[in-house]
Amino acid sequence: MPGDAGDAGDVVIAQSTHRRAVVGFLDSVAQGPSALLIEGEPGIGKTTLWSAAVKQAQQRGFHVLSTRPAAAQSVLAYTALADMLEEADTRTWADLPTPQLLAVDQVLLRADNGAVTDQRAVAAAFLSVVERLSDDRPVLLAIDDLQWLDPSSRHVISFAIRRLTGRTGVLASLRTEAGDGGGDDWLQLSRPDALNRIRLHPLNIQDLHRAVSARLRRPFSRPTIDRIHQVSGGNPFYAIELARSLDHSTSVDSSLPGTLADVVRTRLGSLESDVHDALLAASCLAVPTVEVVSDATTGDADRLVGLLEVAEAKGIVVIDGNRIRFTHPLLASGVYTEASPGRRRSMHRRLAEIVDEPELRARHLALAATKGDDVTLEALDMAAESARVRGAPAAAAELVDLAIGLGGDTAERMLRSALHHFDAGEQERAAAVLAEAVERLPTGALRAEALSRLAVVRLYGDGFIESARLLREALDEVHDNHALRVQTLITLAYTLFHANQLEQSLETAALAVATAEHLDQPHLLSMALGMLVILRFAAGHGYDEETLQRALRLEDPEAYAPLVFRPVMQHALLLEWTGRLDEARGVVDQIRARCLEKGEEGEHVFVSQHVVTNAIARGDFVMANLVAEDAVEKARQLGGNTAQFLTRSLRAQLAALAGHEESARRAIDDALECARQTGTLRMADRVRTTLGFLEVSLGDYEAAAAALQPMLSEFDPDTTPTELPNAAYLPDAIEALVHLDRLVEAEQLTAALENNGRRLNREWMLAMGARSRAMLLAARGDLGAAHKAAQRAMAVHDRLPMPFERARTLLTLGQIERRQRKKESASAHLREAFEVFERLNIPLWAVKASAEFSRASAGPQRSGELTPSEQRVAELVATGMKNRDVAAALFISPKTVEANLARIYRKLGIKSRAELGRHVGRPSGAQTGDYA
């Protein structure tokens, strides 16, 4: 509070605990993001300590961006954020991306072109500004009275501080009552231990005496101070006001107010009515200025200043240029609450006629009203739209809810309220409003819209099955609203696909296209076409590139729609799934950059999933891990089963590739639980694919087959599609089945890959089909044909930029050549496979390749010494494997295993498997069924 940071403030800051905490906090900022929260009851000295800490930061050369929000109910969206940005050099954001630059202009009320921004772009812009400032010198984000921060500013600041990476500190004070916390749940940095708290307690009698005497610049007798301490309970503000009420007396016999409210009432009671009126106007405003207050009261700025000088002399307000500030929030709230409700409403009516901003005018009209008249309701509607355009959905929701509370609870307003709450990240609130609307509305198009929107909200929480039910119900009530019908059909098609109802999803998407063709809404048609193309691809009907190009031409890049429904994203996915990985990477990178610019966190997690899968396919595991970890953190902040599933499944996949078995299994379990809660089999299948790969990597083929069995049971060679997003499990399933001598099943899967690969000219299918064919032929003993199949696979790999899959095919080729006794060729191919696995840091497969290379390149053995092949057979038999399992693991026949065992027994002078187990033991680190 103005005038409160010195004198009495020195007493508070001088307390050693507080001083150490402030110094330690400012020191810690040099090491990275840090926060200090000052908590306490009203008047305890929070602002005093806050101001002293700000002063210390300024003396250290910090960039200080500060705001001191007021308790006024008429607050403009982004008021606090605008305060903070006003203290930054405009050059800091001059070259920001266009969406962010527009967002800053909207926050500062400088945009006049009618362009729409959104909250995410505002948040991304603020984060960019803070990070840029921290590159130059440390930054302090200072917020006094955190509990009064406007919701729009709170969302943006919360977004930014969770993502800080530079030298930035967050300093805030928070008013608490009766020892309770609250209002600070959103104040979280990336590290939980980066937030420290100071809870201020009442001053002891010595410190209180010093504070009161320093502030009022006169002495007090010990009995008087004892009495003041007793009544105030050690609260500095209360004590100073009690002492002030004694006038110039220092006697303990003077009467003292009994409560803090009495103190404030006494302080204000001596003022003239004109001064009271001016103070009431100021207390009704979040940012009171001489100009606005004079227009609402005296009509003369000079006369107003003269009146306020009386209050200034009494320490109630400070006139700072054109701004009027109360010296303490308790005085502002005291002025407001002491005025009668009629006087408050009258003042708000006067202010509504003066202020220019639609949001402020509407708030004043609402506060002046006891019920909703047409003028007030229309003003609130216009203000909500203004807030939406400025990217402040929380403010828009609040304004619509004000209209509803005043009696304007129409269905249209309820739908707008839900939409704004959803955009502000309040999914539960949005769902509650929509559920109420659905319950209240009669059958018809408006109820269908509510059902459709509720279904979209449910997608983020309850999952696909509940959403599909709501969407079907909506379609029954759409009637002649064909645009809503198309939107609902598109969403339902997507939902049915993830609920594993592929044929129904295709029929629904086709109906969406047929309906959209008759509407003059190109963007709707583009989304319907894109959805149909990607669903037909997933169903095995190929890539209709011509139709997708039409969808891309019709797409409106500025129209809002979730990325999953946008043709540009579908284009990126189809490029990836058809093996055009570099092209896909370029498109996805552009989409991801756009999401970052606009602060679209939920979309960013979705896009990051495909950045990671693309990077894995290309063998860029460094990029994959970096993006995945970033996505994991963002998903944690967002919450919701879908976002959590996406990132946990990525973590599982990367851990499996890296050979981190325990981490992979933990992530797999977590992802499966998310999939179960969303009710989508497709999500579960994706995780089972990772589990199957992990088991194959470990050489546990029984476990691999068990993990993949739910998908294998549903597989029909004639009808099940084998495109990459649906059939990534097939190569691992075939390898496991071959090792388990389940060759008939492996044959069906292999033939499906081969046939569909030829029909669709899909290189991934052709490569995987040829490699699988090579394994099958080798298991049947036809090494010549197996070698040719492996070579065919290698030829396709030359056109398919997937280095890990190519290395697996090299491993298969080398194994076959070793059995053909093509020592030189086998060694070369196995060495190359090993080097790729090593470079990609896929250790389980590097071990397999290394063991095969050792066997292929071994020279003549001394009599009595086991050959590498015999050694490997001995090791596997010693683990307890049967001859058939050993044969499958080593791509040899059971008879060859028997022959090897006979030689092993003879060389080692043993006669049983038990003796072999004691002689050989299980090699350290070996896994059952491994190639090592």
Give, for 34, the enclosing helix (H) or strand (E). Answer: strand 34-40
Alpha-carbon torsion angle 709, 711, 713, 716, nearest 10: -140
Would residue 61 count as lying in a domain? yes
Residue linked to tokens 């200072």: 142
Higher pLDDT, 106 or 749: 749
The predicted structure's pLDDT at residue 595: 72
Are 143 and 186 contained in the same domain?
Answer: yes
pLDDT bin (cut points 50, 70, 90) of residue 3 is very low
Are 121 and 182 contained in the same domain?
Answer: yes
The predicted structure's pLDDT at residue 78: 86
Please state whether the predicted TM-score (pTM) of the whole model is above 0.85. Answer: no
Would residue 104 count as lying in a domain? yes
Are 53 and 167 contained in the same domain?
Answer: yes
Are 123 and 218 contained in the same domain?
Answer: no
Count of structural domains, the chain: 5
Would residue 596 count as lying in a domain? no
Would residue 423 count as lying in a domain? no
Are 185 and 296 contained in the same domain?
Answer: no
**Highest-pLDDT range among 322-336, 387-401, 784-798:** 784-798
Are 197 and 294 contained in the same domain?
Answer: no
pLDDT bin (cut points 50, 70, 90) of residue 373 is confident
DSSP character for 862? P
Would residue 641 count as lying in a domain? no
Contacts within 8 Å (CB) and 24+ apart, 219-222: 219/250, 220/250, 221/250, 221/251, 221/252
Mean per-residue pLDDT over the chain, rounded: 85
Are 115 and 141 contained in the same domain?
Answer: yes
Q: Is the pLDDT of residue 556 over 80?
A: yes
pLDDT bin (cut points 50, 70, 90) of residue 331 is confident
Would residue 115 count as lying in a domain? yes
Higher pLDDT, 617 or 890: 617
- In the three-class reduction of DSSP (H, G, I as helix; E, B as strand; rest coil), residue 410 is classed as coil
Tens of pLDDT, residue by residue over 776-825, are 999 999 999 999 999 999 999 999 999 999 999 999 999 999 999 999 99
Q: Is the pLDDT of residue 257 over 70?
A: no
The predicted structure's pLDDT at residue 58: 94
Are 252 and 276 contained in the same domain?
Answer: no
Tens of pLDDT, residue by residue over 181-237, are 456 777 888 777 888 888 888 888 888 888 888 888 888 888 888 888 888 888 888
Are 25 and 98 contained in the same domain?
Answer: yes
Would residue 836 count as lying in a domain? no
Are 69 and 161 contained in the same domain?
Answer: yes
- Least confident span in 45-54, 85-94, 270-279, 922-931: 922-931
Are 252 and 288 contained in the same domain?
Answer: no
Would residue 73 count as lying in a domain? yes
Average pLDDT over residues 117-141: 87
Of 526, 543, 577, the position where a domain reaches its end is: 577
Higher pLDDT, 460 or 702: 702
Exposed, middle or buried by CB within 10 Å (0-12, 13-18, 19+), for 90?
exposed
Q: Is the pLDDT of residue 277 over 60?
A: yes
Residue range of the domain that includes 328: 272-339
The predicted structure's pLDDT at residue 678: 67
The predicted structure's pLDDT at residue 1: 41
Are 506 and 485 contained in the same domain?
Answer: yes
pLDDT bin (cut points 50, 70, 90) of residue 111 is low
Q: What is the torsional sign of CA 206, 211, 217, 222? A: negative
Q: What percent of the chain has pLDDT over 70?
A: 89
The predicted structure's pLDDT at residue 932: 27
Q: What percent of the chain has pLDDT over 90?
A: 42
Of 301, 316, 339, the position where a domain reaches its end is: 339
Q: Which residues contact 73 (CB under 8 A, 6 or more apart)?
A: 284, 363, 367
Average pLDDT over residues 407-433: 86
- The domain that holds 80 is classified in CATH as 3.40.50.300
- In the three-class reduction of DSSP (H, G, I as helix; E, B as strand; rest coil), residue 95 is classed as coil
CA 565 to chain centre: 19
Q: Shortest CA distance to 725 belongs to which of 534, 582, 588, 583?
A: 534
CA 80 to chain centre: 24
Residue 173 has phi, psi (to 5 degrees) of -115, 145
Tens of pLDDT, residue by residue over 55-101, are 999 999 999 999 988 877 667 788 888 889 888 888 888 888 777 88
- Least confident span in 166-180, 496-510, 575-589, 841-855: 166-180
Q: Shortest CA distance to 282 belongs to which of 314, 319, 227?
A: 319
Q: Shortest CA distance to 451 belongs to which of 413, 410, 492?
A: 492
Of 318, 339, 360, the position where a domain reaches its end is: 339
